[in-house]
Chains A and B, each alone.
Chain A
């Protein structure tokens, strides 16, 4: 007996195709969301690794690394001395003249430091949600900055009435210890995400002093512009969360805020090693309190 061969009608085919199209339409945005979620997990994992590195540094050196070396801006920041603790000891050994005690030797931006260290991109210090950038001659921007407290980059003792309450990271070779965080390690930030400025913008340029840390004077992802010391280095792009001005004044000094590409907040590494997403809507006073290491504030939640 011959089997009767039954084909699809045109209508049936069209219906099937339409259903498949709708399903793909539903799936695509979900895939995009999953991508961002995966990127955010990677960024938070990077911060956890940094937390371990800071704790290991503190255990072996009996102090946290300083934000910048003894001579200030230009002879290396915490990002260089932490390298041995994120399994990049071989790169660290190639960095010459960290701290620049004579203020004359090679800077971060001079040979051989450029090719050996500062032109390299470290994945562990890069958040995949953000766009990578190299502002000058291949020198790299990165995505994590240490906590410089609740006033400006210069850690002013009082800024417009806001009193500096200590910070886990200090400038010019000075450093603190994890044991010295009297506000409690789970209430004090060690590091947070920052965005990489685009073009010759210096945000995220963590090889250099001013950009090595973030200021918690203003809340995360603030629409108020960051302050960079020269207009030449400020690429003002408020539409992509990178507003800046290039004219610091005494009451609006150089400072860079924590910023991210994640929805609703920035991820923050706390002193206890925990990584949490702090919402943009956080009360400014609470955010400032989280940045101080010895401020004595009494906030319990945010």
Chain B
């Protein structure tokens, strides 16, 4: 019986390790900060696109200069094209009325290479396995 124990333990540990890592599908948590004109960006959205086939992999909202993706909605290790967008506040609908035609979108505050020109002049960031992924953006 004593000789059996280690052999029983090994598959158990292996199963546990596999079972736990499988839940997030190899994805890792990603968080970061966005500084815009020396101040934390108050609101905005960050999107991650795979470099190889240009698929949307994850998105998160930026609040007070910070964003966070938990592992369950995180990214697989790799290189990602970044799309950052933040509209200038100001689009106002008439108060206390049912909505009608929508106006043009808000003015973009973030430089073009982070959004509309992102395919032409891409900004890439790497996500790596086995370490804390903290992405810093300092946008002038």
Q: What's the nearest-Cβ distance from chain A to residue B140, in Å? A: 19
Complex interface: chain A residues within 8 A of B81 (CB): 161
The answer on a CB contact under 8 Å between B91 and A247 is yes
The answer on a CB contact under 8 Å between A232 and B93 is yes
| 8 A Cβ contacts from A218-259 to B | 218, 222-225, 229-233, 243, 245-254
Partner of A160, one of B47, B72, B100, B105: B47
**Which of B31-39, B112-120, B125-133 sits within the interface?**
B112-120
Given the contacts A229-B103, A248-B105, A224 and B56 also touching, CB distance less than 8 Å: no
Closest to A289 in B: B55
Given the contacts A250-B116, A253-B105, A231 and B47 also touching, CB distance less than 8 Å: no
Complex interface: chain A residues within 8 A of B107 (CB): 249
Closest to B103 in A: A229
The answer on a CB contact under 8 Å between B61 and A245 is yes
| 8 A Cβ contacts from B78-119 to A | 81, 83, 85-93, 95-103, 105-108, 115-116, 118-119
Q: How far is the CA of A43 from the CA of B81 in the complex (A)?
A: 38
Given the contacts A222-B59, A231-B91, A251 and B98 also touching, CB distance less than 8 Å: no
Tell whether A202 is near chain B: CB-to-CB under 8 Å: yes
The answer on a CB contact under 8 Å between A225 and B45 is yes
The answer on a CB contact under 8 Å between B49 and A243 is no
Q: What's the nearest-Cβ distance from chain B to residue A200, in Å? A: 9
The answer on a CB contact under 8 Å between A245 and B56 is no
Closest to A160 in B: B83
Tell whether B16 is near chain A: CB-to-CB under 8 Å: no
Complex interface: chain A residues within 8 A of B85 (CB): 249-252
Complex interface: chain B residues within 8 A of A248 (CB): 87, 91, 105-106
Q: How far is the CA of A42 from the CA of B41 in the complex (A)?
A: 43
Q: What's the nearest-Cβ distance from chain B to residue A209, in Å? A: 8
Closest to B57 in A: A284
Of listed B54, B81, B92, B98, residue having the most chain A CB within 10 A: B98
Complex interface: chain A residues within 8 A of B119 (CB): 160-161
Q: How far is the CA of A208 from the CA of B101 in the complex (A)?
A: 10
Cβ contacts B13-45/A at 8 Å (1 or 0 each): 000000000000100000000000000000101
Interface size class of A (residues with CB under 8 A): 35 or more
Complex interface: chain B residues within 8 A of A251 (CB): 47, 83, 85, 108, 115-116, 118
The answer on a CB contact under 8 Å between A232 and B61 is no
| 8 A Cβ contacts from A190-216 to B | 202, 205, 208, 210
The answer on a CB contact under 8 Å between A232 and B87 is no
Complex interface: chain B residues within 8 A of A39 (CB): none
Partner of A254, one of B95, B97, B102: B102
Complex interface: chain B residues within 8 A of A230 (CB): 91-93, 99, 102
The answer on a CB contact under 8 Å between B115 and A139 is no
Tell whether A281 is near chain B: CB-to-CB under 8 Å: yes
Tell whether A288 is near chain B: CB-to-CB under 8 Å: yes
The answer on a CB contact under 8 Å between B91 and A246 is yes
Partner of A205, one of B72, B97, B99: B99
Q: How far is the CA of A252 from the CA of B114 in the complex (A)?
A: 12
The answer on a CB contact under 8 Å between B61 and A223 is yes
Tell whether B60 is near chain A: CB-to-CB under 8 Å: yes
Shortest beta-carbon contacts, A-B, top 6 = A247-B87, A109-B98, A230-B93, A251-B115, A229-B102, A252-B85
Give me 21 A-to-B residue pairs in the complex whose CB atoms sit less than 8 angstroms apart, sorted by A's number.
A72-B101, A74-B100, A109-B98, A137-B98, A139-B98, A160-B83, A218-B59, A222-B59, A229-B93, A229-B99, A229-B103, A232-B92, A232-B95, A233-B99, A245-B61, A247-B91, A249-B86, A249-B107, A250-B115, A252-B115, A254-B105
Give residues in A with beta carbon < 8 Å to B: 72-74, 107-109, 135-137, 139, 160-162, 202, 205, 208, 210, 217-218, 222-225, 229-233, 243, 245-254, 281, 284-285, 288
Give residues in B with beta carbon < 8 Å to A: 25, 43, 45, 47, 49, 54-61, 72-73, 81, 83, 85-93, 95-103, 105-108, 115-116, 118-119
